[in-house]
Structure 1
Amino acid sequence: MFSLVEIYFDNSQKTLEFCTALENCLKRTRDNQLMMIQLAVSHFEEEVGDGVDGEKYVKTLQELRKFKAAGDPFTEGFFELFQSVYIQHLSMFSKLQQRKGTLDKKLKSVKTWSTVSNVIFVSAFVSVLIFSVVAAALAAPPVVTALAAALAVPMGPVGKWCNSLWKRYETALKGQREVISTMQVGTFVTMKDLESIRVLVSKVEIKVESLMQNADFALREEEVVKFAMDEIKKKLEEFMDDIQKLSQHGDKCSREITRARTVLLRKIMKTPNN
C-alpha cells in the first residue's frame, strides 16, 4: 500500500510538471506565433487601406517570415514528457486494479474464515482443558476442581474476542480498498484529461501548420498575398479559440490533480492501521 501511494503521488507530481510545461508552451505560442499572425493581419489591413499593391506588403510579409521562423510551439521535450507521464498512469492503473482484486478476494473470505476460526479455536480450547483435567487428575486431584471450573466458563467471551480480531482485519481491508479506489478514480480522470489535452494539442499543431502553409504561399507568391491573408484571417479566430481551450483544459487537469491528492491524504488519515 505504501509503495502504491508513493507511486501515485510521484505520478501526480510529474503530471503537474507536465501541466506547467504545457502552459509554458502556450505562453510562447501567444507571445510568438499568435502575436506575429495578429500583427501580420493588422499590418495587412493597414497596407490594404493605404491602397498599396502586392509588392508593397513589406510589414505583412515581415511578420509572416517571423511566424514561419518560430516553428512548432510544442517542443520534442514536451511530447516526451507527455508520453512518459501517460505511460506511468497506465501502469499505475493496472497495478491498482490488481491490488483491488486481491483485496476483494480477501474481503470475501473474511466472513467464512471468521466462522471457521471460531469453531476451530473453541474446539481447541476445550480439548486443551479436557486433556489438562485428565493429566491433572492423575497427578494433583486438587487441581481438577479448578480446571473443571474453567471448562464451565462460557465460550461467549472467547468467540467475541475472535470476532473482534476478524472485524479489525476486515475494517483494515475496507480502508485499504477505499484508498485504492480513490487512487484509481484519480488516475482514471487524469488519463482522460491527458487524452483530451493530446487531442487539443494536435488541433493547435494542425492550425499552426495550416497558417504556415498560407504564410509560405504568401511569401513565395507576392501577387496572392491578399488571398493568403484572407485565409489566415479566417483561421486566426479558430487558432485563438483552440489555444484558449487547451489552456483551460490544462488548468482543469492541474486543479483536479491537486484536489485528488487532498482527498487521498484525508482517506489515508482516516484509514485504520490495524
Structure 2
Amino acid sequence: MRFQSIGSFTSKPSACGTVALAVMALVAVGCSSTSKIAQSPKGSVHLEEVSDWSFDASHPAVIDQATMMKIVKGLYSDESENGSSRMSAGGSKPMRSFSDEDAEFLTPLLVQGLSKAKPEQIVAFRVSSSAGSGIEPTTGSLYVQKGSVYFTIAKGAKATGFAPESVAHVESAPTYAAGGAAGVIAMVIDYHALAKAPAGSLPVAKPQAKSQATASVASAAGAEQATAQMAAEPVGMDELQQTKEALAKKDVEISMLRKESSWMKRELRDQAEEIKALRASKVSAKPAPAKKRAEANQAR
C-alpha cells in the first residue's frame, strides 16, 4: 500500500498527530504486500508490492503465452558455470535455465500475473525441479517497463545469457527484484522483437543430484566411457583439422587486412602531399602587392 501525499491538511496537527503521521509514512515506505496467483507443490507465483517509490512498471501488461514461453526457454547459462566438467571444442555449452516441465508450469502463471499486476508490483515466482533431483528451488521475479521484460533469477538456476542475443541485454538487478540479494543480474528482453523472431532451441540442463555418491558413480561411468571411446577410434582428429583450417583462414583474413591498412596509409600520405603542394602553388601564385599611392606619384 502506498501513500501518495502526506501533510495536505488545512489545520496544523498537534505534536502527537505529527508523530503519528511520521510513523505512518515510515510504515508505508517499508511495507510490501503480496497477492497470490497460484500455489502448488511444484511452485508458486504471486504479486509483490515494491516499497521503492521510484519504481513504476508498465502494468498491467499483456504478453501472449507463445512469447512468454520463448522468454522462459530463452534464458540460459554456460555449462561451466553450472559446475559441469564437460566442455565442447568451442568452450562451454549454453544450457537452458528452465526445463520443459518448468517452462510449461511457469508460462501461463507469469502471463496471468503480468495481466493483473499494478504499476507498483512485480511478479515473483518459485519453482521446484523434478522430485528427487536434489536441486534447490529456483526463485526470481519479472516486470515490464517501456516495452521490455526484466527477468531476474535470484536463487537456484542461473541465467547468464539469452537466445536470441539480438533482443536482450544484461543489467544489474535491483535488490527488490532479486529478493534482497546484491550482485544479481537481470535479463532485459525486448518482447515485441522476440515475438517476431523465430523460435530457437537450446539443450536443457540435466538435474544434478546433491548426493556425493551419485556424483562419484556418474563420474566413474563417464571416465570409463571416455576411455572406451579413445581406445576405439582416434577422437578429435576431425575437430583438429577443422581448427587448423579455421586458423589458416583467419591468417589469410589478417594478411588482407594488413595490406588494406598499408594501402590506406599510403593513400592518406599521397593526399597529404597533394594538399601541401596545392597550398604551396597558391602561395607562389599570389600577385605582388600594389605600390602605395604616394610612391606612385613620386615616380611620375
TM-score range, shorter chain: under 0.3
Indicate the structure whose relative CO is greater, using CA pairs within 8 Å and at least 6 residues apart. 1
Structure richer in helix, relative to its length: 1
Structure richer in strand, relative to its length: 2
* TM-score normalised by the chain length of structure 2: 0.19
Larger radius of gyration: 1
